[in-house]
Amino acid sequence: MIAFTAAEIAQLTHGRLNGDPDVTPTSVVTDSREAKTGSLYVAKPGEHADGHHFVHAAFERGAVLVLAERKVVDAHGSPYPAVVVDDAVLALGALAAETIRRIRSERKLRGELFTVIGITGSAGKTTTKDLLAGILSTTGATVAPQGSYNGEVGVPLTVFNADAGTRFLVIEMGATGLGHIKYLADMVKPDIGVVLMVGTAHAGEFGGVDNIARTKGELLEALSEHGTAVINLDDARVAAMRPRTKAKVLGFTASAGLPEEVGALNVFINSDGFPGFDLALPDGGPSVPVRSRLIGAHHVTNLLAAAAAAFAADIASSAIATSLSSQAAASRWRMERMEREDGVTIINDAFNANPESMSAALRALAELGRERRTWAVLGAMLELGDDSVQEHNAVGAQVVQLNISKLVVVGQEARALFDSAIKEGLPGDECHFTESVEDAYELLQNELEAGDLVLFKSSKQVGLRHLGDRTSLSPRASSPAGKD
């Protein structure tokens, strides 16, 4: 990380310093359990607990300074070395912004390039981030988020992993309201901004899908005229963002080869569910084959987005295609395929769920299982607000429309999905409703047969990813482990 003294931290965050001004932290943590010698511990009021209660624990583990919203004293009444600010999260953002400025100016002085790429969209951010980081790291030192870090805390923590040796910095940007992407984009000042799609996830929270589109487009508004806006032309709401940026626009599309844009030609899905296509880049050269190892046609969007962003970062087409063809899923529970000894195949996509990803996963299940008995084991999509019942109804209808053989709906929150599948004509013996994950497990243990293909999908909190893991063990070898 770029080093700041305690005095600089206080100055940059408009905070009050208590303690030695020359102390210079060597890492930043927001979880006291991750503190180590030299850490700056950021005490913020969290969802479940107030970080100020763990200052002592952080110092025990070697923290040298705390960024806090109030003075914290030890058992003897002496204050811990601290910078006290009004809002610790905003202070973290200010430090991240200064980190970016320093990296940029240090590298410029040395005549070295530094490229920041921001990625937003309602689905596929983490997948695209992983693919893009995979490509870029073949060319230069690349820093990208751990897991799905994409918010007002996760973005600064990612930035602190970069330093003057970093060539590419990839930032995932998530939002739950208007202004959130602007805040993150102003912090990291991306050179390249990627908008994947505008979905209906969190539409309730946002106050409608138009507000989601406004928010995602904030990334493009933040780009300068030297930047590149990488946009998905196959999503009408994203394509309509073109006038919202001063930057050069590079569109990508899987539906037709447009000479000025990035295109996927001859798209196909092989028998393993892996998409392939010929990547056409506006570089005057021939198209290059991409043969992905990610499951599902929806990943064509993510592969194209990563290719377009890499192209905007001056990576050669052959390097892009080679990297995209070699990368498998980098994170767990994303269309993760497991073969059971008895011939049952599990696809565990229950990392999280929203209407777009639910639909994509079901389409992949139907496609992959054309010759097999298919099972959709589904739980609720949470956080949909007023649209919840309607969206669950739509999933039930889609299960019927796609001709999925068997449906198992887990938990009352997903009841509407079950009811709508019945209403749409799924015979009663082909669908099951279970109150709990445990009941679903018992049912699957009894019912699954050799050759079955089983998809698990729900929001994270419903925990079907663990049910998928348990079910993927061979029937008799399974243990009661893996509870949520």
Between CA 263 and CA 260 the distance in angstroms is: 9
120 is a contact residue toward Mg ion (CB under 5 A): no
Between CA 415 and CA 413 the distance in angstroms is: 6
* Residue 420 interacting partner from Mg ion, ligand ATP, none (CB closer than 5 to 8 Å by kind): none
The label of the residue with tokens 């973290």 reads: 92
The label of the residue with tokens 């196959």 reads: 234
Residues 161, 28: contact at Cβ < 8 Å? no
- Residue closer to ligand ATP by CB (options 98, 172) is 172
Select from 155-163, 214-222, 351-359, 415-423 the region that touches ligand ATP (CB under 6 A): 351-359
| Region 136-175 residues binding ligand ATP, contact defined as CB under 6 A | 148, 150, 174
Between CA 421 and CA 407 the distance in angstroms is: 9
- Residue closer to ligand ATP by CB (options 244, 299) is 299
Q: CA 272 → CA 59, 268, 348, 372, distances in Å?
A: 51, 11, 15, 13
| Region 255-314 residues binding ligand ATP, contact defined as CB under 6 A | 298, 301-302
Residues 321, 329: contact at Cβ < 8 Å? no
Binding test (CB under 5 A) with Mg ion, winner from 137, 148, 211, 322 = 148
∠ CA 122-92-58, nearest 5°, is 110
Select from 109-117, 215-223, 346-354, 387-395 the region that touches ligand ATP (CB under 6 A): 346-354
DSSP-assigned letters across all residues of 23-85: ---SEEESSGGG--TTEEEE--B-SSSBGGGGHHHHHHTT--EEEESS--B-TTSPBPSEEE-
Binding test (CB under 6 A) with ligand ATP, winner from 352, 434, 471, 472 = 352
Binding test (CB under 6 A) with ligand ATP, winner from 180, 216, 237, 334 = 334
- Residue closer to ligand ATP by CB (options 25, 151) is 151
Helix (H, G, I), strand (E, B) or coil at 427: coil
216 is a contact residue toward ligand ATP (CB under 6 A): no
Token pair recorded at residue 465? 């990813």
125 is a contact residue toward ligand ATP (CB under 6 A): yes
Binding residues for ligand ATP, rule CB under 6 A, total 21
348 is a contact residue toward ligand ATP (CB under 6 A): no
125 is a contact residue toward Mg ion (CB under 5 A): yes
Residue 221: how many other CB atoms lie within 10 Å: 17
Binding test (CB under 6 A) with ligand ATP, winner from 191, 235, 356, 391 = 356
Binding test (CB under 6 A) with ligand ATP, winner from 13, 30, 127, 420 = 127
- Residue closer to ligand ATP by CB (options 348, 434) is 348
Token pair recorded at residue 285? 């050269």
Interacting residues toward Mg ion by CB under 5 A: 125-126, 148
* Interface with ligand ATP (CB under 6 A): 123-127, 148, 150, 174, 197, 298, 301-302, 334-335, 349, 351-352, 356-357, 360-361
